[in-house]
Amino acid sequence: MITRRLQLPPPAEETFFLWGSRQTGKTTLLREHYPGAFWVDLLKAEEYRSYLERPELLREELSSYAAPPFVVVDEVQKVPGLLDEVQWLHENRGVRFALCGSSARKVRRGHANLLGGRAIRYELQGFVSAELGDEWRLERMLNHGYLPSIYLASNPKKRLNAYVADYLKEEIAAEGVVRNLPVFSGFLNLASLSDTELVNYSTIARDCGVSSQTIKEYFTILEDTLLGKWLPAYRKRPKRRVISSPKFYFSDVGVVNFLAKRGTLEPGSELYGKAFENWCFHELNAYNLYCDSFAELSYWRLASGYEVDFIVNDLAIAIEAKAVARITSDHLKGLRALKQDQNTVGRAIVVCLAPKPRRTDDGIEIMPVRDFCQALWAGEMF
């Protein structure tokens, strides 16, 4: 059995939202944690219709209990009107809720009740190395992605095809998020080529035949539906001109591989290196979310081209992701340029495929992937 690293509160302790992209395992996690909960499953057509027509039905159903039960509402974004009932029950009856969903977009755009800060927010990611333990395989993760059912599948392509189709049908078309679904589908393919990169809105807009503003809105949709996330640029105290635009990371590299038609990724290829960088961000982001680190993650790039993939907490740690076994001086240029530009860099680390750890004369740590995973999830990184 695989134990997820996200720790949810005991039942009846607090009301919270559990967000996560499709198929990250939110429902499974909630059923494991709260086996005796009163369950509202809005994926069931009859329950969806009942609560959509009469949100007050929830209050009536719970009134029959002598003591208020802990309540799970799955896919809460489908019936935003339920959130007014949730707040009333939370404040007047002491009912505690787990509110689960894959997108807060419909909730926000419909001006629905997000409980005014009364609910804690949790976010579930796909599998991380610490959850798989000895069963974790880097090449499998870079090719299959992080989504549990797809990572464990023998043939991920069919499942990824179904995943993208369901995303377009359930998250985009069913919610009326965009007017032109074929254009958005084409945008997804083009956006996948920008994973781990600065985004050129004009180029994508031209290829899609829409405006740059539309493309910006489409990226917002990816972020709102938790299919991707922006990584801001580090811009503090530069001695030289730095890039200020953010980079975009898809939340699952398997989805990127499918959309970009990458095929099987082999060590040593450029695409393997891009997938490796996505995975490093995935691990850092998941640790930050699960362990309440509240760390600031960013990247650093000079206009001249030198770059460091990840900056943690105002230069406390600088991390380069290099999917190679032999680290040379060329792989260290970004970190050395950063240390020259900023005199407050703490640890400088290269996460790579080297068989053994070592340290360069100027203090840069060469860290194999398994050492990185162990140090990160042991709380030794930040």
**Is the domain of 315 the same as that of 356?**
yes
Consecutive 10-residue averages of pLDDT for the chain (382 residues): 94 91 96 96 95 96 93 93 91 94 71 62 96 95 96 92 92 80 95 97 96 96 94 85 94 97 94 98 98 95 94 97 97 96 95 98 97 97 88
- Distance separating the N- and C-terminal Cα atoms of the chain: 28
**Is the domain of 230 the same as that of 339?**
yes
Measure the CA–CA gap between 142 and 105, rounded to whole angstroms.
29
Per the structure, how many domains does the chain have? 2
Model pTM score? 0.94
- CB of 349 within 8 A of CB of 359? no
Place of tokens 């035949």: 209
**Is the domain of 119 the same as that of 137?**
no
5 within a domain of the structure (yes/no): no
382 within a domain of the structure (yes/no): no
**Is the domain of 335 the same as that of 367?**
yes
**Is the domain of 118 the same as that of 163?**
no
| Helical (H) or strand (E) element with 230 | strand 228-231
* Last residue within a domain, chosen from 97, 123, 149: 123
CATH number at residue 117: 3.40.50.300
**Is the domain of 34 the same as that of 79?**
yes
Domain extent, residue 38, equals 16-123
Look up residue 239 and give its amino acid. Answer: K
* Last residue within a domain, chosen from 101, 123, 145: 123
User: For 26, what's the count of Cα atoms within 13 Å in the CB-facing half-sphere?
Assistant: 24
**Is the domain of 211 the same as that of 248?**
yes
* Last residue within a domain, chosen from 74, 104, 123: 123
Torsion of CA 130, 250, 305, 190, to 10 degrees: 150
pLDDT of residue 12: 82
pLDDT of residue 111: 43
8 within a domain of the structure (yes/no): no
**Is the domain of 42 the same as that of 65?**
yes
| 38-41: strand order across its sheet | 38-41, 71-74, 97-101, 16-19, 120-123
**Is the domain of 230 the same as that of 328?**
yes
1 within a domain of the structure (yes/no): no
**Is the domain of 116 the same as that of 141?**
no
